[in-house]
Every structure is written in C-alpha cells, then in structure tokens.
C-alpha cells in the first residue's frame, strides 16, 4: 500500500471528488449557495417512457408455483384509492421473495408507473434505495449528496409523502427486512400506493396485512417437482416429505435430478447418505431447515463434477462472501478475469447459466445481476470454513473488489459506488474471524471502502469504524511514519469531519501536516494536500483567517512542484479564490478565478466539465460582486454548452434554465424569464408528467411570473443585495461571512 501524492494531470476537476490515495486531498466547490425552490429543480436521472423500474427485480424461476391463496391479499379493485401494505413473513427458503417478485413482475407487465425493488437488510440500504427512487423519478439529482444522515432521511420521507399523495399504480417492495423500526417511518400510511414487505421476522406482520409463507403443501410440492422434472415420479412425494416441502430445498433437488439424469428415488438415497455435519462448520444456534444443507451440498457437488474448469465452484465461492442483495454481472466477469487461468465473459455467463439451472442462483429480470439465497450462501461459507479455505475466498474476492473500488475513485455514479461499498462491507463482515493475516490483505479494500463511504456520507458510523481500524492496523504493519499510515490517519480525520466531529478532525489533520512536513518536507505533494485539508477543516468552523495562508501555501507549492497549468495547481487556485471570497477580498477572488478558468479551458477545453464547473464558480463571484451582467452572460454561455452536451430535455438543463430565469427576472427581463420557464414546464411535462412535483413547482413559478408576483427567489436575492436582515422581515438571513455558499445555478 503505497502513497505518492501524485495524481494524473489530464483529469478535469470533478465536483465533490473523493480522496485520492497518496494525496489525501479532497476538492470541494466552495462557491455554491442553494435556495429551497432551486433545490427542488436539481438534476435528475429520468427513466424512459413507461414503467420506471428501480432495483433488481428477480426473474421468474423455473416451475414457479403462484400460490394463489397467498397472493389473493394483493388484489383490489382498480382505482380504489386505498393503500395496500402486505408483509410476507416466514422461515428462510419458504419463497417469500419469489412471491413478492411475481407481484412486481405482474405490475411491470401491467404498465404501472413505478415498480421499486429495495434491499431492506438494514436502514442505510433502505435510505439508499429510496434515494434511487427519488433520482429515477426526477425528484432528486442522481449525483446529489442525499446520502448524508438527516438529508437521506428527509429525502426518504419526501418519497413516502409523494407515494401518499400520488401513489396510484406505484409499487415499492422492501425485501429482506431486518430492522422493522428503521423501516417504519418510510412506509406510506395513506394513499393508493402498494407496499410489499418480505421478512424472516414474524413481527413484520404488524406493519400491514401479514401473510404467513410456509412450506409448500404436499400438492404444491408435487406440482413443482413435476414441472421442473417434466414428468411425474413415483417417489416424488417421499422426496418432498424428506425435504419438508421447503421450496428452496426442492429447487435444489429438482435441479440436480434434471442435470444428472436421476430419479427421485436415486436422489433421495444420496440425500439420506450425506452427513452434512461432516462437511460444514455450523455456528452454534444457527440450525438449518430439515435437509436444506444436504440438498445444497449435493447441488454443489454435482456442479463441481460437471465443470472440470472449476469456474462454477469458483463463482459460488465468490458470491457466497458478497452481498445477498445481489451481484452485477460485470463484477462476476471481473472475477473471471482475475482467475489464475483467466476466463472470458462468455465462459462466466455459461457457468452462471449452469448454476441457475441447478437453482443455486437466480437472475434479475434484466439478467444483469444475480442473487444467491442467504441459506445457500451460508452453506458455501460453512463448507469453506470446514475446509480452511474461507480466508482464501475472502482474499480473492477482496482483490476483485479493491480493483473495482479503486477504479471508481472520483466517480460521480453514486449507484455504482454504493454498490461496491455494500459488496465490500459484506465481504469484510464475512472475513471477520477468519484465520491468517487477512486483515492486512484487505487493507487497500478497507481504505477505498471507507473513502467512498466518506465521500457519499453513506453508512458513516461503519465508515468511521473502518477508518479507525485501518489507521491502527497500518501503524502496526508499516509503522507510524509510513506514508500509508499517514493516508489512513488522513482518512480517519476526514471521516470525523464529515460527521461534524470538527475538533477531533482538526487536531488529527494538524498532526498529519506536522508529520508530513517532518518526514517528506514542505514541498511534497502530500504535504501540500495536507495543507488543503486542514484549510478546509478550518473553514468548516469559521476560521477563515487560519485557512487562507494554508491555501496560499498550497497554491505556491503546486505551482513550483507541478507547474502553473497542472490540474493540481488549478484546483489549488479554486480553493484559494474561495478563501479570498470568504474573507471579503472579492477583487482578488475574481482575478484568481478568472486565471483558473483560462488555465482549465486551455488544459481540458472550454466545454469540459472542469471548465464549466469553474465558469459557474466565476459567475457566482461576479454575481456577489454586483457584476450582474457579467454573471448572466457567463451563465448563458454555460447553459449553451450544457445544452449542446446533454440535449435540451436533460434534467440538468431544466435546472440551469430555471436558475437563469431567476436572474433574468431579478434584472427585470421578464420576457426572457418567461420564455425559459415555459421551456422548463414543457420539458418536465414530457419527461416527468404533469403531476410530478418538479413540474408543478415550475408551473407555479411560471404562473407567479405571469401574474407579476414577487417570489421567494426575488425576496432572497434582495436580501443578498442588502445583508441587513432587518430590512427583509420574514426571510432567512444570508450566510455569515466565511461560510460556504451555493448560487442558485449550481447543483
């Protein structure tokens, strides 16, 4: 684990970039102020026409038994307007998820407006799933920072309120609910939305209409076996009885019988002859359902015998230590490439098909993700533990995940980053207590995981725990003066900063800076990055006078070390301009930002994301300096460039148009403002529908403009021109000097 402090200079400035291993530098946009009405007009990721499907809905399994009696509770007259909350509860392997998935697939086929499938194994996953619903329905920017504690909770409740107000033909499934109290606040209590819950906990039934899901009846078991085998079998009833009619175990049995050309009697003999206790290391108090472990072991044995390459067995071991919520196919392809004898994606797909035929895994409806039942995963892990190979399986999976997590550094794709975080957390949990030096082997994965969690403010208590352990383990392995240890300590401090533990963060960042100066010298890239991090921590608590010299030092150092046009230098110019603005040196801030824009445009081109980012910052500085014409002209250029890059209907464009309209209106150019808002309303009606909250907001603003009302935006803009709140009763105060701020046109 090395840390050089270097970063490629051919990279545009990304908004909200994550920490870079080796520099400890986190770049932020200081120049953003955001009003409540503009926040509702943020960027969105819009699904195409028809049903908006969120999450990975499982595909229909072979010989699926509809169990009509259990599904009856989900039927209701169309347009009844009554809420439906159904909780499928029962033992593992009874088929709860499959029933919920069947209902979700039916709603997709019926063209419902929304079908959302949310992993509810913990509250953070519930919040992340509801954030994705908000993003996919245009309620919240897909790249926004809603994953931060209270913000995530507020957004989740906003989704709940939306479902209560406009839930007709909308379905949300919360799968595998563990924390019932954590889920409760996000369940609609009124309206026409449908909610389906699956849980192993019987108490989940109190959250709605409880539907106990038990083993198949004898007739259902026989129908299932006949459907899977394509024939009747004289000993099918005996086999079903031996397996307790458990759907999961029956699926394992049918898969092996079909694949190996057996009959039910032959399989039954093998099942009864298998002593599972000799193969599995089972935790005390964690019994398996009757014969369930044996049926899984037989399926694994058959798969291994039929695949001499070991690909199928290797994939099962990989999947068993990851998240039960599912693994995307591209990560499985990466696992195939990481084998000692690399496998092509087609070979991996063939192996997945074989495993699916034996009911060891299931595909989602798009076939781009697979899930393994938690009971099957547990059997595989117990088998690996008994063989002494669980640590090796975790190391192998950790290597694949570390490469994926590293590749996602600085990525704006919250969904992809959050997915790799969840996979890594599952792996780290499964690796706990394994033999060998596995903690050291997973150091880099832990670093990237905690770094991504901090950047997204996702599951921050776990992120801090990982960062604290990482710092301690790095010091133990490499020593307190190693660069890797300094990086781990930096990450820990930045995690504290994200959680509002500013005093602890500042002390630790001061120590890191002192250590870097002592060990690496004042001009090392890591030392300069430490200056930036400490400067930002000072700014968080209003110590702008202390932050300013640190940003000046960082800029001077990067100019000497990298040159005037390097990306690191341009980022340092952005940070210093922010600091100048915070201490009311607006002329210096504008001059420096103009230089930064010119250098960025020369470096990456005028239409690059980094150049547009800085031009937006410059426009905000012009605006604050009362250079309204310059601010509007620059914002017009940015909007034009964004339209060319994204298309006129992109949700980001609607945000830029609405914000520019606010500036036109404030300047008295009502015709221009009206024209832009009409475009916003038309675009949102086409992409979101007339009843969507963002469409309604835009329509209200347009109507107010046409009536000549003075809107909240104008009141707030007036308060910005006159900072004395006494002259603006009923409005919120402008940010105090030194605080970070957001103009209405930036995300």
Do residues 311 and 418 both lie within one domain? yes
Do residues 208 and 302 both lie within one domain? no
Domain containing residue 323: 297-457
Do residues 182 and 303 both lie within one domain? no
Asked if residue 576 is part of any domain, the answer here is no
Per-position DSSP letters for 114-165, written without gaps between them: EEEEEE-SSHHHHHHHHHHHHHHBTSS-TTS-TTSHHHHHHHHHHHHHHHHH
Chain position carrying tokens 């080796």: 22
What's the confidence (pLDDT) of residue 286?
Answer: 65
Do residues 303 and 207 both lie within one domain? no
Write out residues in the chain with pLDDT < 70, as ranges.
1-49, 76-83, 140-150, 281-286, 435-436, 646, 651-652, 687-689, 691-692, 709-747
Residue 697 tokens read as 């907001």
**494 and 505 Cβ atoms separated by less than 8 Å:** yes
Evaluate the CA torsion angle 340, 341, 347, 351 in order and state its sign: negative
Beta bridge mates, 210: 87
Which among 197, 202, 156 has a CA at the least distance from the CA of 176?
197
- The contacts of residue 119 (CB under 8 Å, 6+ apart) are 55, 125, 126, 129, 175, 176, 323, 325, 326, 422
Can you tell me the distance from the alpha carbon of 51 to that of 364, in angstroms, rounded to the nearest whole number?
A: 16
What's the confidence (pLDDT) of residue 513?
Answer: 97
Per-position DSSP letters for 41-55, written without gaps between them: T----B--SS-EEES
What's the confidence (pLDDT) of residue 710?
Answer: 52
Which among 593, 607, 594, 688 has a CA at the least distance from the CA of 641?
607
Beta bridge mates, 197: 87, 174
Beta bridge mates, 88: 198, 211
Can you tell me the distance from the alpha carbon of 323 to that of 419, in angstroms, rounded to the nearest whole number?
A: 9
Residue 118 sits in a domain whose CATH number is: 3.40.50.300
Do residues 206 and 304 both lie within one domain? no
CA distances from 608 to 32, 577, 600 (A): 19, 20, 9
Final residue before a domain boundary, out of 441, 457, 473: 457
Can you tell me the distance from the alpha carbon of 310 to that of 343, in angstroms, rounded to the nearest whole number?
A: 11
Asked if residue 46 is part of any domain, the answer here is no
Can you tell me the distance from the alpha carbon of 390 to that of 278, in angstroms, rounded to the nearest whole number?
A: 16
Can you tell me the distance from the alpha carbon of 548 to that of 512, in angstroms, rounded to the nearest whole number?
A: 18
Can you tell me the distance from the alpha carbon of 303 to that of 307, in angstroms, rounded to the nearest whole number?
A: 6
Residue 466 tokens read as 């990982």
Is residue 427 helix, strand or coil?
helix
Residue 96 tokens read as 């709860």
Do residues 70 and 171 both lie within one domain? yes
- The contacts of residue 71 (CB under 8 Å, 6+ apart) are 99, 102, 103
Looking only at the bridges linking them, the beta strands covering 369-371 and 362-363 are antiparallel
Chain position carrying tokens 């079909």: 258
H or E element in which residue 328 lies: strand 327-328
Do residues 307 and 208 both lie within one domain? no
Chain position carrying tokens 């547009």: 612
Q: 244 — phi, psi (to 5°)? A: 65, 20
What's the confidence (pLDDT) of residue 37?
Answer: 30
With vertex at residue 677, the alpha carbon angle to CA 674 and CA 681, rounded to the nearest 5 degrees, is: 135
Chain position carrying tokens 């986190």: 26
**231 and 275 Cβ atoms separated by less than 8 Å:** no
Asked if residue 367 is part of any domain, the answer here is yes
Can you tell me the distance from the alpha carbon of 118 to that of 95, in angstroms, rounded to the nearest whole number?
A: 17
Per-position DSSP letters for 217-250, written without gaps between them: PHHHHHHHHHHHHTS--TTHHHHHHHTTT-HHHH
H or E element in which residue 709 lies: none
Is residue 161 helix, strand or coil?
helix
With vertex at residue 444, the alpha carbon angle to CA 440 and CA 450, rounded to the nearest 5 degrees, is: 115
CA distances from 277 to 203, 268, 339, 383 (A): 31, 18, 30, 10
Do residues 183 and 56 both lie within one domain? yes
- The contacts of residue 346 (CB under 8 Å, 6+ apart) are none
What torsion do the CA atoms of 302, 215, 245, 327 make, to the nearest 10 degrees? Answer: -10
Is residue 448 helix, strand or coil?
helix
What's the confidence (pLDDT) of residue 78?
Answer: 52
**98 and 64 Cβ atoms separated by less than 8 Å:** yes
Do residues 64 and 202 both lie within one domain? yes
Which among 472, 574, 512 has a CA at the least distance from the CA of 5?
512
Do residues 308 and 452 both lie within one domain? yes
Which among 379, 412, 407 has a CA at the least distance from the CA of 613?
412
What's the confidence (pLDDT) of residue 140?
Answer: 65
Adjacency order of strands within the sheet including 327-328: 327-328, 369-371, 362-363
Which among 304, 399, 296, 299 has a CA at the least distance from the CA of 351?
304
CA-only gyration radius of the chain, Å: 29
Cβ burial of 80 (10 Å; 0-12, 13-18, 19+) is exposed
The DSSP secondary-structure symbol of 202 reads G
Asked if residue 469 is part of any domain, the answer here is no
Can you tell me the distance from the alpha carbon of 551 to that of 678, in angstroms, rounded to the nearest whole number?
A: 43
Is residue 195 helix, strand or coil?
strand
Which among 367, 198, 382, 390 has a CA at the least distance from the CA of 296?
382
Can you tell me the distance from the alpha carbon of 657 to that of 648, in angstroms, rounded to the nearest whole number?
A: 10
Can you tell me the distance from the alpha carbon of 151 to that of 130, in angstroms, rounded to the nearest whole number?
A: 12
Is residue 133 helix, strand or coil?
helix
Residue 320 sits in a domain whose CATH number is: 1.10.10
| Secondary structure in 3-state letters for 247-313 | HHHHHHHHHHHHHHCCCHHHHHHHHHHCCHHHCCCCCCCCCCCCCHHHHHHHHHHHHHHHCCCCHHH
Can you tell me the distance from the alpha carbon of 557 to that of 535, in angstroms, rounded to the nearest whole number?
A: 15
Beta bridge mates, 58: 364
Do residues 349 and 200 both lie within one domain? no
For 161, half-sphere exposure in the C-beta direction (CA atoms, 13 angstrom radius) is 9
Asked if residue 435 is part of any domain, the answer here is yes
Q: How many domains does the chain have?
A: 2
Asked if residue 73 is part of any domain, the answer here is yes
Is residue 370 helix, strand or coil?
strand
**275 and 386 Cβ atoms separated by less than 8 Å:** no
Is residue 365 helix, strand or coil?
coil
Asked if residue 173 is part of any domain, the answer here is yes
Q: How many CB atoms lie within 10 A of CB 329?
A: 18
Final residue before a domain boundary, out of 438, 457, 476: 457
Asked if residue 121 is part of any domain, the answer here is yes
Do residues 199 and 345 both lie within one domain? no
With vertex at residue 144, the alpha carbon angle to CA 143 and CA 145, rounded to the nearest 5 degrees, is: 125
Final residue before a domain boundary, out of 212, 238, 261: 212
């Amino acid at each position: 684990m090395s840390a050089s402090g270097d970063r490629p200079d051919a990279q545009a400035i990304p908004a909200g970039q994550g920490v870079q291993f080796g520099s400890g530098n986190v770049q932020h946009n200081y120049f953003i102020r955001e009003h409540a009405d503009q926040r509702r007009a943020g960027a969105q990721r819009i699904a195409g026409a028809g049903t908006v499907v969120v999450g990975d809905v499982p595909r229909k399994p072979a010989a699926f038994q509809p169990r009509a009696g259990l599904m009856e509770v989900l039927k209701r007259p169309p347009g009844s307007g009554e809420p439906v909350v159904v909780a499928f509860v029962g033992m593992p392997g009874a088929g709860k998820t499959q029933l919920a998935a069947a209902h979700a697939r039916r709603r997709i086929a019926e063209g419902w407006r929304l079908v959302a499938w949310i992993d509810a194994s913990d509250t953070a996953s519930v919040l992340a799933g509801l954030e994705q619903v908000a993003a996919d329905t245009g309620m919240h920017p897909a790249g926004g920072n809603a994953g931060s504690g209270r913000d995530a909770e507020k957004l989740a409740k906003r989704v709940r309120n939306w479902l209560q107000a406009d839930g007709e033909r909308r379905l949300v499934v919360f799968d595998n609910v563990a924390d019932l109290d954590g889920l409760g606040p996000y369940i609609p209590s009124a309206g026409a939305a449908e909610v389906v819950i699956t849980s192993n906990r019987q108490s989940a039934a109190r959250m709605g209409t409880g539907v106990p899901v038990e083993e198949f009846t004898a007739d259902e078991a026989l129908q299932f076996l006949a459907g899977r085998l394509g024939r009747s079998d004289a000993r099918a009833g005996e086999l079903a009885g031996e397996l307790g009619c458990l759907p999961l175990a029956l699926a394992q049995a049918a898969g092996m019988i079909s694949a190996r050309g057996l009959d039910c009697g032959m399989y039954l003999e093998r099942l009864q002859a298998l002593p599972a206790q000799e193969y599995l290391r089972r935790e005390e108090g964690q019994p398996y359902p009757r014969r369930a472990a044996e049926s899984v072991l037989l399926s694994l044995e058959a798969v291994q015998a039929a695949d001499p390459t070991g690909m199928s067995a290797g994939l099962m071991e990989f999947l068993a230590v990851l998240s039960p919520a599912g693994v995307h196919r591209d990560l499985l392809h990466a696992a195939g490439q990481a084998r000692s004898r690399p496998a092509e994606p087609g070979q991996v797909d063939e192996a997945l098909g074989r495993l699916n035929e034996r009911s060891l895994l299931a595909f989602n409806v798009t076939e781009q993700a697979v899930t393994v039942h938690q009971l099957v995963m547990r059997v595989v892990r117990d088998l690996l533990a008994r063989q002494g190979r669980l640590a090796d399986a975790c190391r192998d999976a950790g290597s694949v995940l570390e490469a994926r997590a590293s590749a996602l550094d600085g990525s704006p794709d919250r969904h992809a980053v959050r997915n790799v975080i969840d996979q890594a957390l599952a792996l780290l949990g499964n690796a706990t207590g394994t033999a060998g030096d596995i903690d050291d082997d997973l150091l880099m994965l832990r670093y990237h995981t905690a770094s991504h969690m901090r950047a997204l403010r996702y599951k921050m208590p776990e992120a801090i725990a990982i960062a604290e352990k990482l710092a301690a383990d790095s010091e133990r392995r490499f020593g307190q003066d190693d660069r890797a240890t300094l990086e781990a300590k930096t990450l820990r401090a930045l995690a504290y900063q994200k959680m509002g533990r500013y005093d602890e963060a500042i002390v630790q960042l001061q120590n890191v800076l002192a250590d870097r100066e002592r060990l690496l010298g004042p001009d090392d890239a890591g030392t300069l990055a430490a200056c930036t991090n400490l400067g930002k921590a000072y700014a968080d608590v209003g110590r702008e006078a202390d932050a300013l010299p640190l940003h000046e030092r960082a800029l001077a150092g990067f100019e000497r070390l990298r040159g005037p046009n390097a990306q690191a230098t341009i980022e340092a110019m952005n940070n210093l301009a922010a600091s100048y603005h915070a201490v009311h040196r607006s002329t210096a801030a504008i001059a420096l930002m103009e230089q930064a824009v010119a250098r960025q445009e020369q470096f990456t081109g005028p239409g690059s994301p980094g150049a547009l980012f800085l031009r937006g910052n410059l426009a905000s500085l012009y605006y604050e300096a009362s250079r309204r014409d310059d601010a509007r002209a620059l914002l017009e250029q940015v909007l034009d460039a964004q339209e060319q890059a994204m298309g006129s209907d992109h949700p980001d464009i609607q945000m830029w148009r609405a914000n520019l309209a606010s500036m036109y209106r404030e300047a008295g150019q009502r015709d221009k403002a009206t024209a832009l808002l009409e475009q916003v309303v038309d675009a949102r009606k086409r992409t979101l529908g007339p009843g969507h909250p963002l469409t309604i907001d835009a329509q209200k603003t347009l109507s107010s403009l046409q009536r000549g009302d003075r809107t909240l935006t104008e009141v707030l803009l007036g308060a910005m021109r006159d900072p004395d709140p006494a002259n603006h009763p009923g409005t919120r105060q402008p940010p105090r000097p030194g605080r970070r701020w957001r103009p209405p046109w930036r995300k």
